[in-house]
């Protein structure tokens, strides 16, 4: 098997057949074997039903993994990689925003350039609003400042890689998965190609603004311990300010002899430092929570059903 296409699907009933057709069209005459691995990530519509139809029809080799509930795209990718047996593995969405023709190009590049292990696509023209793109830019500058690995802005998880890269990714068994960080962490030589994301063929995106914010927090907490140091920095800074203020109060008392009632000051200071303390406890809590989740050592996903491709 030359190529495994890993396709996470959550409520993509209207897209999966069109997606398979697009793949078949793109790979006709390519001269190598490929398989599509669909992961039904606990869809609530007819996605599984339609995937089973595709599997039974066998227009091309199709594997279907069906989860017991929605575990998220990252878990779906992990499950797909586990079942992939191609020399190359491609990650691609089911909604046809990422065209299968580009995967064919990626395969060609990997064939022609043995020095590269990964071909990743980045969006050259984004159709999103200014506010969102500002937040995304800020996120990348913050995370690249804090973390030891460098994330490529705009690089999506639309990529094709060799089996060695797949094996390395599978070795990272963390429960909170953040694929951009995982790709950066495993390293390997990556060749970037631009692509323009098409409109979604059908259905709606599963990303809301808050989901993106959560995803960003996931990335920062998962790839850096710098926020933990914030408590130390804030503690030191406020300690120094407190000593300076104390000196000022003593001088004021001795030189000018004023005794200030200071009611408002006390209230403000109490509120301010309670706030700082709660904030720092919150940050520590984020890490403790993740440690807790990881030590439970639960599986990243549960496979309820698996349909293998009939050769």
Q: According to CB under 6 A, which one of 13, 34, 41, 160 is a site residue for ligand UDP?
A: 41
**CA 248/CA 254 separation, integer angstroms:** 10
| Contacted entry of ligand UDP, Mg ion, none for residue 72, CB cut-off 5 to 8 Å set by kind | ligand UDP
Q: Are 308 and 63 in contact (CB under 8 A)?
A: yes
Give the interface segment with Mg ion, choosing from 65-73, 97-105, 243-251, 291-299 (CB under 5 A): 97-105
**CA 168/CA 264 separation, integer angstroms:** 58
Q: According to CB under 6 A, which one of 20, 89, 97, 168 is a site residue for ligand UDP?
A: 97
Q: Are 194 and 105 in contact (CB under 8 A)?
A: no
Return all residues near 144 (Cβ < 8 A) that are at least 6 apart.
150, 151
Q: Is 97 in the site for Mg ion (CB under 5 A)?
A: yes
- What is the DSSP pairing of strand 155-162 with strand 3-9? unpaired
Q: Shortest approach of Mg ion to residue 219 CB, angstroms?
A: 19
Q: Is 157 in the site for ligand UDP (CB under 6 A)?
A: no
Q: Shortest approach of ligand UDP to residue 34 CB, angstroms?
A: 18
- Residue window 281-300: x/- pattern of binding to ligand UDP, with contact defined by CB under 6 A: --------------------
User: Scanning residues 259 to 278, which ones bind ligand UDP (CB under 6 A)?
Assistant: none
DSSP label of 188: -
* Greatest CA separation for the chain: 94
Q: According to CB under 6 A, which one of 52, 55, 63, 73 is a site residue for ligand UDP?
A: 73
Q: Are 197 and 98 in contact (CB under 8 A)?
A: yes
Q: Shortest approach of Mg ion to residue 14 CB, angstroms?
A: 13
Q: According to CB under 5 A, which one of 35, 41, 95, 157 is a site residue for Mg ion?
A: 95
Q: Is 156 in the site for Mg ion (CB under 5 A)?
A: no
- Please report the sign of the dihedral spanned by the C-alpha atoms of residue 5, residue 194, residue 101, residue 191: negative
Q: Shortest approach of Mg ion to residue 95 CB, angstroms?
A: 4
User: Scanning residues 52 to 81, which ones bind Mg ion (CB under 5 A)?
Assistant: none
The residue assigned the tokens 């098997």 is 1
Q: Is 186 in the site for ligand UDP (CB under 6 A)?
A: no
Q: Which two tokens stand for residue 126?
A: 């984004």
56 CB neighbour count, 10 Å cutoff: 10
Q: Is 51 in the site for ligand UDP (CB under 6 A)?
A: no
Give the interface segment with Mg ion, choosing from 96-104, 126-134, 206-214, 235-243 (CB under 5 A): 96-104
**CA 282/CA 274 separation, integer angstroms:** 12
Q: Shortest approach of Mg ion to residue 37 CB, angstroms?
A: 18
Q: Are 7 and 38 in contact (CB under 8 A)?
A: yes
Q: Is 27 in the site for ligand UDP (CB under 6 A)?
A: no
Alpha carbons within 13 A on the beta-carbon side of 78:
23
> Edge to edge, what strands does the sheet with 88-91 contain?
190-195, 118-123, 155-162, 88-91, 3-9, 34-40, 62-67, 303-307
Cβ closer to Mg ion: 43 or 97?
Answer: 97
Q: Is 206 in the site for ligand UDP (CB under 6 A)?
A: yes
Q: Is 9 in the site for ligand UDP (CB under 6 A)?
A: yes
Residues that bind Mg ion (CB under 5 A): 93, 95, 97
- Which residues are near ligand UDP by CB under 6 A? 8-10, 12, 41, 70, 72-73, 76, 93-95, 97, 205-207
């Amino acid at each position: 098997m030359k190529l495994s296409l890993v396709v996470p699907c959550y409520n993509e009933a209207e897209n999966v057949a069109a997606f398979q057709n697009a793949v078949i069209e793109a790979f006709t005459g390519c001269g190598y074997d490929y398989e599509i691995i669909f992961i039904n990530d606990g869809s609530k519509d007819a996605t599984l039903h339609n995937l089973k139809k595709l599997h039974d029809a066998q227009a091309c080799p199709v594997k279907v993994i069906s989860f017991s509930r929605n575990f998220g795209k990252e878990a779906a990718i992990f499950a797909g990689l586990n079942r992939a047996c191609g020399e190359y593995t491609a990650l691609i969405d089911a909604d046809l925003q990422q065209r299968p023709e580009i995967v064919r190009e990626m395969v060609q590049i990997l064939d022609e350039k043995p020095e590269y292990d990964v071909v990743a696509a980045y969006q050259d023209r984004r159709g999103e609003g200014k506010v969102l793109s500002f937040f995304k830019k800020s996120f990348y500058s913050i995370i690249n400042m804090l973390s030891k690995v460098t994330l490529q802005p705009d690089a999506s998880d639309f990529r094709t890689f060799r089996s060695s890269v797949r094996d390395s990714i599978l070795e990272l068994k963390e429960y909170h998965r953040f694929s951009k960080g995982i790709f950066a962490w495993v390293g390997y030589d990556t060749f970037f190609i631009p692509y323009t994301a098409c409109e979604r063929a059908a259905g709606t995106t599963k990303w809301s603004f808050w989901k993106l914010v959560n995803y960003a927090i996931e990335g920062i907490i998962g790839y850096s311990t710098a926020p933990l140091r914030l408590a130390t920095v804030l503690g030191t800074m406020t300690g120094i300010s407190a000593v300076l203020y104390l000196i000022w109060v003593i001088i004021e008392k001795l030189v000018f002899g004023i005794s200030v009632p200071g009611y408002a000051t006390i209230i403000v200071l109490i509120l301010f430092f309670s706030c700082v303390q709660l904030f720092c406890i919150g940050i520590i809590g984020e890490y403790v929570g993740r440690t807790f989740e990881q030590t439970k050592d639960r599986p990243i996903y549960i496979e309820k059903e698996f349909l293998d491709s009939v050769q």
